[in-house]
Structure 1
Amino acid sequence: GIVNNIRHNDEILSGSDYNSQKLSKADEWIASLNFESFRKDIGDLGKTLAANQGPADVAHLEKMILWSRCCSWVGILTMWIAVNPISIFLLSLGTMTRWAIIGHHICHGGFDRCDKSGRY
């Protein structure tokens, strides 16, 4: 197995193997990270962002919905020409954005606080 192939004098650096024993140069910062302070900073940021949600967020969502629909419609309206990469790309982009961007955030309640109509 992997362990048998490792010579004893070789350093196994983080990021290159699951059997890591030493942090690589790029990962050394994590050793001195204050996790409690980081947790607090992230929590405070979440509270600040949630408190500032409002009509601008709903307007942004509606703009994303419009772009998603435009991609789908242009893909549908151009697919009769021939099999072409533009139609395929736009149909795919329209579908992906509806599910991965719009649906994901709505299903997780990302717009519950800022949409008073209950639509999202």
Structure 2
Amino acid sequence: MGLAKTEMFTDQQNEIATYAKVFGHPARVAILQHLFKINTCVCGDLVNEIGLAQPTISQHLKELKLLGLIKGNVEGTSVCYCIDTEKWSQMKITMFHFLNQDLSKKEDCC
């Protein structure tokens, strides 16, 4: 299997692709939506809310945390997760600039 060759692309292109990958799974979207709705929760709450197994939820949380969109604080034997508002704002700016590109109003090109 070949390498992704991410070094061939700009930092911004790699960043946008990483965001797209994270949003490419509906469970991660559901986790983010739930965190926005209730502000903070533990993995067990997400298991009950979303209906996936705990290890599956944990893996999705790991992906979101690696990207920095969420953060977790240890509370006793549990980790309490919430949206990292600073990283979320940065992501919104990056994605806005990418998604706000428009084709010129010229004739069809194809």
Same fold (TM over 0.5): no
Tell me the TM-score normalized by structure 2: 0.31
Computing the radius of gyration over CA atoms, which structure comes out larger, 1 or 2? Answer: 1
Q: If each structure's strand is expressed as a fraction of its own residues, which one has the higher value?
A: 2
Relative contact order, CA 8 A, sep 6+: which one is greater? 2
